[in-house]
Amino acid sequence: MSRFWNPLVAELSPYVPGEQPQSRDLVKLNTNEMPYGPSGRALAAMRDAADENLRLYPDPESQVLRAMWAQVQGLEPEQVFVGNGSDEVLAHCFKALFQPDQALLFPDISYSFYPVYARFFGLSFTPVPLDQQLRIHLADYRRDNGGIIFPNPNAPTGVLTPLAEIAELLTDNPDSVVVVDEAYIDFGGESACRLIPDFPNLLVVQTLSKSRALAGLRVGAAFGQEHLIEGLSRVKNSFNSYPLDRISQAGATAALQDTQWFEDCRARVIDCREQLQARLQGLGFEVLPSAANFLFVRHPDHRGSDLQAALRERDIIVRHFDKPRIQEFLRITVGSESDCEALTGALQAILG
C-alpha cells in the first residue's frame, strides 16, 4: 500500500501467471508453451527486421499482418484485429464489447484472467458451473447477460465444445457479444471463424503463443464482423496505438506463412498427447478428453498438491489450481517426446 496510489490500485486482484523459473534444467510443463522452437522462417524474418528502420514507428494498423491472418482464416483484413498477445486483445474486448448493466457470463472453471479483467473494467459477472463431466453446458448461458466469454477448448480442462452448440448459442443470444477464446483450437478443434459471416455477435480470439511457439513474441488476434473490430480499434487507439512493434509484425506474418512448420509441429504435439494420455491412464490416472496441448488429470489415490510437490522435487513443474472441484487435478502441458518420458518415469517412481 502506498499513499501515492490511485485508490483503485489497492482494490485490484491481479492475475498470477504460471511460474517462469530462471533455471533451465527443469522439465517445464506448467504454462502450455510449445516444446519445439518457432518457425525458422519467422526467426529469419525477425532478424531481417532488426535493422536501421527500427528508428521509425511501426505500422499502427499492422496491415500486412492483418491481411495475412485474414487470408489464413478466409476473412477480410477489416475483420481482423491484432494486439500484444491475446491477453491484451481480451482486455480490449472486456472494455469495448461487454455491457456494464448486466452480468458477464463465463465458466466457473476457466481462464483465471476473466474475473480479473471483469473487476478491472467494473463489470459484474456470474460464473456458470461446468457440468458433472467438467464440460461447458451452453444451455445454461441462455439468460440475460452483458456478454459471454469462454475458451474453446476450455482451459484448464482441455475439453472441446462442439461448433454446432456454439452456433445454437449465437442464435439464441442475439443481443450481446459472445467471445470464443481459441488459444488452443489448433490442437484438435474447428475454429468458430467460419461462423463469423452469419453472426454479428461473434468474436473469435486466437494467439501465436501456443500453436505457433511464439509466446515470447506477444501476438494475438480477434476475428469478427467489421463493427466489432471497429469497437476494439477505438479502444486500442485510446490506449496504445502501436501495440505491435516492427519485429513482431514481421515475425508473426512469416510464422503464419509457414504452413509446413505449423502442420508438422501441431501433428507432433497431438501425437505426443495421445501417447501421454494412454501412459497416464496406464498409471491409474483419470484423464479428461483433451483437444488442447495439455492434459487435465487426477489420480484416485493421490492428492493433486502432493503429486505436484513430488514432481517438483524431481525438477518437473506442472500446474495445480487450489480451487473447489479441481483441487485434485494437475494440468500437464504436452512436452517433447523426452519431456513425456521424464514425466511418466517420475510418476512411476512416485506412485511406486
Ligand X SMILES: *Cc1c(COP(=O)(O)O)cnc(C)c1O
Residue carrying C-alpha cell 525438477: 315
d(Cα 117, Cα 137) in Å, to the nearest integer?
23
DSSP conformational letter for 160: P
Work out how close the CB of 280 gets to ligand X at its nearest, in angstroms, rounded to a whole number: 21
Nearer to ligand X, 83 or 304 (CB): 83
Alpha-carbon distances of 192 from 161, 244, 293, rounded to whole Å: 11, 25, 19
Nearer to ligand X, 169 or 205 (CB): 205
Work out how close the CB of 203 gets to ligand X at its nearest, in angstroms, rounded to a whole number: 13
Work out how close the CB of 102 gets to ligand X at its nearest, in angstroms, rounded to a whole number: 23
Nearer to ligand X, 33 or 258 (CB): 33
Work out how close the CB of 205 gets to ligand X at its nearest, in angstroms, rounded to a whole number: 7
CB atoms within 10 A of CB 153: 26
Going through 88-196 in order, the beta strands assigned E by DSSP cover 104-107, 125-128, 147-151, 178-181
Work out how close the CB of 180 gets to ligand X at its nearest, in angstroms, rounded to a whole number: 10
Nearer to ligand X, 246 or 319 (CB): 319
Nearer to ligand X, 88 or 102 (CB): 88
Cβ(149)–Cβ(106) under 8 Å? yes
How many helices (H) and strands (E) the chain has is answered by: 11, 12
* Cα–chain center distance at 25: 26
Binding site for ligand X (CB under 6 A): 85-87, 111, 151, 155, 181, 183, 207, 209, 215, 220
Work out how close the CB of 94 gets to ligand X at its nearest, in angstroms, rounded to a whole number: 13
Nearer to ligand X, 87 or 186 (CB): 87
Cβ(300)–Cβ(312) under 8 Å? no
Alpha-carbon distances of 251 from 49, 79, 94, 186, 281, rounded to whole Å: 8, 21, 27, 19, 39
